[in-house]
Chain A
């Protein structure tokens, strides 16, 4: 019957396929995740953005707060090809009396070359190591008005590209930490509430009910407004993080509580209790691992909202305040339609924000589908 094998293509195909039941859980998750092209793309985009953020001081050609009245509202610089490779022209600044706007005309007589890995203003890489090395810069004598504004300049002549990079340090991290904090609070409180029950549970549920009786945004606004205006930026950063967490944890705590209640009544938990396991052991070995995937998914999906929230609060002047920069602070310049129509590059932070928020949403969706394909 040796002939039979060759004539059974279907059977052969059946054999080649892996037995789905024997692949470890995490591998299945990775496989399911990588099947979603959009989510993988989002992961790559976010990876790129966070890399840029880490190296932001190195990439930024100018200090984010360097004022330059000669370049107020200078448009994105045109890059030309000169004898020494890429370069830029100097700019001539004139005032349009009628419309009361600055007008910039490039002066093609000289091309100032763009150099890579140049020495520039001093910064601390990762806040630790002092350095003057920058990815690129323009070689020009100080008297020539030749600065490179990849994304234009704002009303004070500050380089928007450098400012956006600087702003990413806050905008890409604050929401993230806020969510991290609320996930931790939510998980702990939810677990405690569901596991111990009784008066504690009752108290926590009342507290959650109270917090949820406030509409979100006004509550966030009131809390953010309660942060004193005079505190230093770092303190403000953490306060706003806490503001995000203080309201956000309630939903997760409720869900975790529900899960814990269900797991608590499960047979293996009863068995563990019967076997004399401690509370700590039961919580960390039986309850948390079971709720973990859910917690991670909720957290992932909450990040984009938290990032948007930080931006919104800063945009309203309640979150991060100038002179510190976040994307929301940058957007304050784009508040009026007049400004945006005249200086469209001021909208670049909007684009970045949209890309980031969407990427996080896609990533969250992918993770959810990978972790829990039936949800």
Chain B
């Protein structure tokens, strides 16, 4: 029993179906920040895979490590990767590369970044460099990975701007970011990210900063382009509504771990983990009687400098089993009768 205590629970990969057709497989990824106030363990053994051509939603409360997971795949995190593997496969049945082993600023990694894996960030207002035109910033990526020809790069940049639904792509290409609205800038970011037709797109809350109408348009656009190009998307959000609209599968994160992973329908109609259940209860839905109170998840996320013994969710869990949950870390297991739905909770072991 004692062996199951935190920090030693690593036997998770056994529970996953390893598919030949995953673009990325993250195995037991550990990431820490060494700050003056102490060590922050941001990721404590994250494992998941992204199948080719699928959209995976990654959800969880603020600070649970969603962005850091994405940045770790890009090797752009300022933190230190302390263990685990990130296996990236560019083609079907191609060779797998362990991104963790690459030099983060080396030529191999730079060849992957922006070319095979690209990323969109949350803040469209600040994601584009104010000193260069939008077109120039897109061309930069194309010139780096696709062609040496400036005119060709320019043509492709305008093309992709047209593709993301920009009304007047030539003019937009010559505009500076501050001349565009937030939605337009996010479109420009998407254009930049897709300009090299990447295998994987990591979208870190791409619509959080936008208003609802613009959000819907951007989501539609992403879905459309995803179908067209066949890019896999790791879609980071904390909006369950967006998940329902966008994603094929969902991974739920809590304190630097994935605690439940299933197809989108399973998550919404048959959630298993108490955290997922409360997460779903905390969103308003049509059909719920007026006046009925929305639930919030009790308690707050423990501060990142300390480590909670046992299941990290137990201080807030309504179903916690005394003596077990506060001492032993649950392993990731398949939900009975499913080959895709995994959960990390003692209720299901």
Contacts and interface: CB of A to CB of B under 8 A. Distances in A.
Interface of A: 1, 3-5, 7-8, 10-11, 13-15, 17, 19-21, 35
B307 A7 contact: no
Contact of B2 (A4, A15, A19): A4
A7 B2 contact: yes
A14 B306 contact: yes
B37 A4 contact: no
A5 to B, nearest CB: 8
A8 B6 contact: yes
Interface string B316-333: 000000011011100000
A19 B304 CA distance: 11
Most buried by A among B36, B308, B309, B323: B309
Contacts of B307: 10-11, 13-14
A354 B121 CA distance: 48
24 contacts: A1-B324, A1-B327, A3-B2, A4-B2, A4-B5, A4-B327, A7-B5, A8-B5, A8-B309, A10-B7, A10-B307, A11-B306, A11-B307, A11-B308, A11-B309, A14-B305, A14-B307, A15-B306, A17-B38, A19-B303, A20-B37, A20-B303, A20-B305, A35-B36
Contacts of B36: 35
A20 B326 CA distance: 24
A35 B2 CA distance: 39
Contacts of B326: 1
A18 B310 CA distance: 21
Interface of B: 2, 5-7, 36-38, 303, 305-310, 323-324, 326-328
A1 B323 contact: yes
A10 B324 CA distance: 18
Given A1-B327, A4-B327, A11-B306, 17 more contacts: A1-B323, A1-B326, A4-B328, A5-B309, A7-B2, A8-B6, A10-B6, A11-B6, A11-B307, A11-B308, A13-B307, A14-B307, A15-B306, A17-B305, A17-B306, A20-B303, A35-B36
Contacts of A20: 37, 303, 305
A17 B324 CA distance: 25
Contacts, number: 40
B33 to A, nearest CB: 15
Contacts of B324: 1
A373 B268 CA distance: 43
Contacts of B306: 11, 14-15, 17
A15 B309 CA distance: 11
A1 B325 CA distance: 11
A351 to B, nearest CB: 34
A-B pairs, top 9 by smallest CB distance, nearest first, are A14-B306, A4-B327, A11-B309, A10-B307, A14-B307, A8-B309, A1-B323, A1-B327, A7-B2
A203 to B, nearest CB: 33
Nearest to A6: B2
Nearest to B2: A7
A277 B307 CA distance: 46
B326 to A, nearest CB: 8
Nearest to B306: A14
B44 to A, nearest CB: 11
Most buried by B among A1, A5, A13, A35: A1
A7 B2 CA distance: 8
Contact of B309 (A4, A17, A19): A4
A237 B26 CA distance: 71
A35 B6 CA distance: 32
B315 to A, nearest CB: 12
A59 B38 CA distance: 48
B327 A21 contact: no
Nearest to B323: A1
Contacts of A4: 2, 5, 309-310, 327-328
A14 B2 CA distance: 19
Most buried by A among B5, B323, B328: B5
A14 B305 CA distance: 7
Contact of B303 (A1, A3, A21, A35): A21
Nearest to A21: B303
A46 B203 CA distance: 54
Contacts of A19: 303
A7 B6 CA distance: 10
A17 B304 CA distance: 12
B32 to A, nearest CB: 12
B256 to A, nearest CB: 13
Contacts of A1: 323-324, 326-327
Most buried by B among A10, A13, A20, A21: A10
Contacts of A15: 306
B314 to A, nearest CB: 12
Contacts of B2: 3-4, 7
A5 B303 CA distance: 20
A230 to B, nearest CB: 57
Contacts of A13: 307
B157 to A, nearest CB: 37
Contacts of A3: 2
A264 B166 CA distance: 40
Nearest to B308: A11
A3 B328 CA distance: 11
A266 B328 CA distance: 47
B9 to A, nearest CB: 13
Contacts of A7: 2, 5
A5 B5 CA distance: 10
Contacts of B6: 8, 10-11
A70 B325 CA distance: 90
A3 B327 CA distance: 9
Contacts of A11: 6, 306-309
A14 B302 CA distance: 11
A10 B306 CA distance: 8
A37 to B, nearest CB: 14
A8 B326 CA distance: 11
Contacts of A35: 36
A1 B7 CA distance: 18
A177 to B, nearest CB: 36
A229 to B, nearest CB: 54
Contacts of A5: 309
